[in-house]
Amino acid sequence: MERKYRNIRHVTSREQGMPSSIGVGRILGIRVDIHLSLFLIVAFLSWSLARGFLPERYPNWNTATYWSTGFVCALSLFVSVLLHEFAHSLVAIRRGYRVEGITLFLLGGVSSIASESRRAVDDFVISVVGPLSSLAIAAIIGIVAVTSGGSSPAYAAIEYVAIINLLLGLFNLLPAFPLDGGRVLRAAIWAVTGSFRRRRGSRLAADRWLACCWWGSASTKSFRDMRYREYGRRL
């Protein structure tokens, strides 16, 4: 079975790549494909940034600057995702696994690794390196943003790259499938127990943990919204 690493989720599939994907070549020997859905999300993000986020933070720019900066920021998101997936893929190759390629699509990216991990340490290292690489990029770019300052389009793009990589790294470290953190937790349980079956059982526990977190968050928000509607203000 072929394992696919995704920055949003991890799946197992017998397919290589995705339907409606366009090959853009090889980088460091790894095939990179772009799914057609990527163009839709880049257009949507560009519009969202140009019409909302950027005008609110930088009210003195002209329309062309908003749109061009929004487009650059949208592209930078998927460059960040690509770097995240390259971290998974390069470490997998380093540890003796064959990587079929990387595909960028609507929900992020996927690295197709040709087989399941043979050892718990491989599973752990391959999984954790993606979020760590995103956090490292966020730290480096964040330092640049803090030291440069200003309100130029270049600064806005740098700030956006730092924020998006920070969120990408932290979100993927949540210990629940199909995130990287879920695989890290599973690998840790596998290493401690020495049981391949028990590491699979950890997936259900992690999924329940994430469901409880979402339920608690949604319940809290619903309660606050009800109080707001009842008294006409937030308490």
- The count of structural domains within the chain is 1
Alpha-carbon separation of residue 187 from 68, 115, 116, 182, 199 (angstroms): 43, 15, 12, 9, 7
Q: State the pairing for strand pair 108-113/2-6.
A: antiparallel
The answer to whether 17 and 112 are in contact (CB under 8 A) is yes
Check residue 196 and give its pLDDT.
53
Can you give the residue range of the structural domain that contains 160? 2-174
The per-residue pLDDT for range 141-193, each reduced to its tens digit, is 999 988 887 888 999 999 999 999 999 999 988 887 778 888 888 888 888 88
The per-residue pLDDT for range 219-232, each reduced to its tens digit, is 444 434 443 344 34
Is residue 59 situated within a structural domain? Answer: yes
Which parts of the chain sit beneath pLDDT 50?
Answer: 1-3, 5-16, 198-199, 201-216, 218-235
Size (the chain), residues: 235
Is residue 184 situated within a structural domain? Answer: no
Q: Which residue has tokens 């490292």?
A: 136
Is residue 202 situated within a structural domain? Answer: no
How far is it, in rounded angstroms, from Cα 93 to Cα 74? 29
Is residue 211 situated within a structural domain? Answer: no
Q: State the pairing for strand pair 99-105/108-113.
A: antiparallel
Measured torsion, CA atoms of residues 204, 206, 212, 214, in degrees rounded to the nearest 10: -110
Is residue 15 situated within a structural domain? Answer: yes
Of 56, 85, 159, 230, the catalytic one is 85
| 2 annotated active-site | no
Phi, psi of 13 (to 5 degrees): -150, 155
Is residue 7 situated within a structural domain? Answer: yes
The distance between the two most distant Cα atoms of the chain, rounded to a whole number of Å, is: 62
Is residue 156 situated within a structural domain? Answer: yes
Helices (H), 149-195: 153-172, 180-193
Determine if the pTM surpasses 0.85.
no
Give the number of other CB atoms < 10 A from CB of residue 214.
Answer: 11
The answer to whether 27 and 86 are in contact (CB under 8 A) is yes
Residue type, 75: L
Q: Which residue has tokens 């990589």?
A: 165
Strand partners, 111: 5, 102
The answer to whether 76 and 6 are in contact (CB under 8 A) is no
Is residue 100 situated within a structural domain? Answer: yes
Q: Record the tokens describing residue 143, joined without a space.
A: 């330092």
